[in-house]
Amino acid sequence: MTTPAITEDPEQKAHALLDNRVTAVRHLTQTRQAVIDARTALEQAERADATAHATAENSGWSPEYLRKLGLDTPPGAPTVAPAARAPKARRSTARQRTAAGPIPDHSGQGPAA
């Protein structure tokens, strides 16, 4: 009984099969790294957004007003205690000024004649 001759180089055949598989893994590695990079960039952007939102609240913007502007509190953002916010300017009313008495004259000119 005779053995059939090998007509194609088995090593070349194996390399051709492996090259396709290696190319597929190389592409998968590149796309997976792109996903990891995008997630990292998203996490950094979300942290920056949360910090900027907290800064806006600390400067006096209420979460309700920011929401009216379309700037909802980002998920996971630290909440700002009301005492930490900038105090709101109080406007005195005419009734409050009258109840407190006349405004003293500190101009040094005395009462007008």
Residue with tokens 């806006």: 56
Cβ(58)–Cβ(80) under 8 Å? Answer: yes
Among 106, 108, 109, 58, CA closest to 84? 58
Q: How far apart are CA 33 and CA 59, in angstroms?
A: 39
Residue pLDDT, tens place only, 61-71: 999 999 999 99
Residue pLDDT, tens place only, 76-89: 776 655 555 555 66
Q: Which has the higher per-residue pLDDT, 34 or 10? A: 34
Please report which confidence band the pLDDT of residue 18 belongs to, taking 50, 70 and 90 as the band edges. Answer: very high
